Structure 1
Amino acid sequence: MTAYEKPTVEITEVDVVLSKYFGSNVTEITPLKGGNLSAVFSFSVFDNEYVIKFSDLEGSFETEKFISTLLTSKGISFPQCVGLGKYKLLNYLISEKINGHNLASSSLEQQRRMLPEVIHILKLMNQVELGKTSGYGTINASGNGTYNSWNEYVIATNAEDQEGTFWEGWYSLFETSCLEKDVFFECYNRLISYSKYNESHRYFIHGDFHQWNILSDGQKITGIIDSNGKYGDFLVDLATLDWHLKKLNVIEVYQNYQHQQGITIPNFKERLIGAKYYNGLIGLRFYAKMGWNDAYFSLRDELLSLTN
């Protein structure tokens, strides 16, 4: 299996799509860095700034529109969806642009200063009312989780058969990449053992809650972007944040915040370990597929030492 390559879209093609929505008023179409799965551009219409994303993966943008409505209706700063459609073989989503730069571009000290705000946003996402939605795991276009339980979702996520998804044929990575079969299944068995602690908890999960998807003006957090939304234990998002901001003692800051709020989280340690194995197995496959060997081996070593 070769490394995944996001679609290539020319600015002239972007202009064709945008003219349907905004006529000839579109200016400053600019490719944006980031977005491992989508081609992303910013643009302006008069004094308003927007973003358009293109993907060849089915269904993700319909879900993002649902998540946009879910989060913005609760006062969480997340890009509001403006348009959704198809261009040639690609899906696209147009949304309002949130001002700011990704948190990764801030200094370590700035990130440390803004971490309490990040933790507060995580809490707000935990508290989103899920209404009449049902199910666990990946949120589909109807707003429901795709699976009946977290355990069912975990098993399906790591199954060999992933036809029609980003992970189709992923078992070939054992032969063509740095992904080690014995390591993967050792961590998978540990995941199954610990995920029973995550099983009964159903909240909104951002799914990619890290410094590249958190925006800031350098002084405060201005919003979050690019959810890979799921239903399950919100400690999955905390585990993601902790992995990406290793130098900031994220877990300690989070636990202090919860203590100040008078919030007790049952089985915190076990749930966090389950969340780290869940994220870690996705990370191992993703790094292997993208050819990011250094990131793979770093994560591999962390997972293997997690419960030693």
Structure 2
Amino acid sequence: MVEVLVKPQVKSDEVIKLLKGIFEDPVEKIEEATTGKVKKVYFFQYNDKWYVIRFSDNDMEFKIEKYLKETLRGEKFPLPKFLYSGVYNSFYYAISEKVEGKPIHKLKEEELKASMPSVMDNLIKLHSVDIKAYEGYGWMDYNMKGTFNTFTEFLQSFFSKDQEGFWKGWYELFKESFVDYNVFNELYGKMIELAKYCEGRKYLIHSDFHYNNIIINNSKIAGIIDWGKVSYCDYIFDIATLILEFPNYNFLEEFYTFYKERNFDTSNFKERFLCAAICNSLDGMRFWARLGREDTYKSILDNILMILNKYDTTIT
């Protein structure tokens, strides 16, 4: 949903050299993380404890983590303990404690259902952060303001033809890959039609709330990681991201009840959910098409068509 930047190239021997200047004793082990599209990430063991060092071409994510730690300091919010940050060559880095547990997408059914109360409790803490002082929608700038005047402008920016970075020239997918322009465009039109229901609803959201970014331990969230896509928009986008990951469970009704009971705005809940679900699906479809994964592309397409068929947008 955001321009994908080039991952920093930092080798393990460079990391070891950097860590020697930070810690008194030598690092015992170091392992490169296999996940992460934008940051270069290593796990390392020091004095029998595991830590994480992340490298990025900007420090916005690290700034957001510090902001959240301060803002939610009385809420016991599951942010990994932040230890050090600095600059290495032309990259920013941050060191934090490694969160122990399982990524949410690897949980068994009973484990997943048992963890949902903790997931909901912590997600609503994030969505309750007071952001009245900050203008705009979408990705935050260094003044913590949104970079778009309206939510619809933010939404349209995801799929504009002229982009830089990873998405430069992405319209060529309609000519050179299996992406069906008519299907894609029909879903896009539906999303824009539904955007009016999300307009004016502004919350602080994670924007990538699923997969490896939610770590569960003993049915509780042990940590929420990867804050590089934090933005201002409808809280339904975080909920939709999670629901799309688990389409076989009726989590939408559970979230609706949970947020309504806590006096959040739940009007036009399903329309808002569908807008977010289509956006996430279109972004995923083009991403996997770019990587040549037709099976994953079709799976995402089938899932969003099933969801659209399931939820009548006239029901609010």
The reply to whether TM is greater than 0.5 is yes
CA deviations 1:110-132 (Å, max 9, x no partner) are 11111121111111111012252
Counterpart-to-counterpart distance in 2, 1:177 and 1:17: 43
2-structure distance, mates of 1:39, 1:158: 26
Partners of 1:262 and 1:102 lie apart in 2 by 30
1:153 maps to a residue whose letter is: F
Which has the larger displacement, 298-307 or 273-282? Answer: 298-307
- 1:99 and 1:263, CA in 2 relative to 1: closer, same or farther beyond 3 A? same
Contact 2:247–2:303 (CA under 8 A) maintained in structure 1: no
**Partner Cα distance (2:178, 2:237) in 1:** 25
Contact 2:256/2:266 (8 A) holds in 1? no
Distance 2:94 2:176 in 1: 33
Corresponding position of 2:65: 68
Identify the residue that residue 173 of structure 1 maps to in structure 2.
173
Q: Is there any run of 5+ residues in structure 2 with no aligned partner, and where?
A: 310-316
Distance 1:17 1:293, change over 3 A: farther
Is residue 250 of structure 2 the alignment partner of residue 253 of structure 1? no
Secondary structure class of the residue paired with 2:60: helix
- The AA in structure 1 aligned to 2:154 is Y
CA distance in 2, matches of 1:32, 1:83: 19
Q: Distance in 2 between matches of 1:20 and 1:177?
A: 48
Q: Does 2:136 match 1:135?
A: yes
**Which residue of the partner structure matches residue 233 of structure 1?**
234
- State how far apart, in whole Å, the 1-side matches of 2:177 and 2:246 are: 26
Equivalent position amino acid for 2:124 in 1: K
Query: Equivalent residue for 1:102?
Result: 103
Q: CA deviation at 1:188?
A: 1.1
SS of aligned partner of 2:34 = coil
Q: Is the partner of 2:96 in helix, strand or coil?
A: strand
Write the deviation string for residues 9-46 of structure 1: whole angstroms up to 9, x where unpaired: 43212213323433554332122232233332112343
Give 1:206's aligned residue.
206
For these two proteins, the number of residue pairs brought into alignment is 301
Percent identity over the alignment? 34
Distance (whole Å) between structure 2 residues aligned to residue 70 and residue 135 of structure 1:
18
The 5 A counterparts of 1:30-179 are 30-46=31-47, 49-55=50-56, 58-59=57-58, 62-73=59-70, 74=72, 75=75, 76-88=77-89, 90-130=91-131, 132-163=133-164, 165-179=165-179
TM-score norm. by structure 2 comes to 0.85
TM-score (norm 1): 0.87
Displacement after TM superposition at 1:270 (Å): 1.1
Instruction: Report the Cα distance in structure 1 between the residues aligned to 2:273 and 2:105, rounded to whole angstroms.
Output: 24
Q: Report SS of the residue matched to 2:38.
A: coil
Q: Deviations over 1:156-193 (max 9, x none)?
A: 22101112x33222222223333222222111111110
Over 3 Å counting, the alpha-carbon distance change for 1:87 and 1:175 in structure 2 is farther
Deviates more, 1:260-269 or 1:288-297: 260-269
Superposition RMSD on alpha carbons, in Å?
2.6
| Structure 1 residues 261 and 136: CA distance shift in structure 2, 3 A | closer
Give how far 1:303 is off.
Answer: 3.0
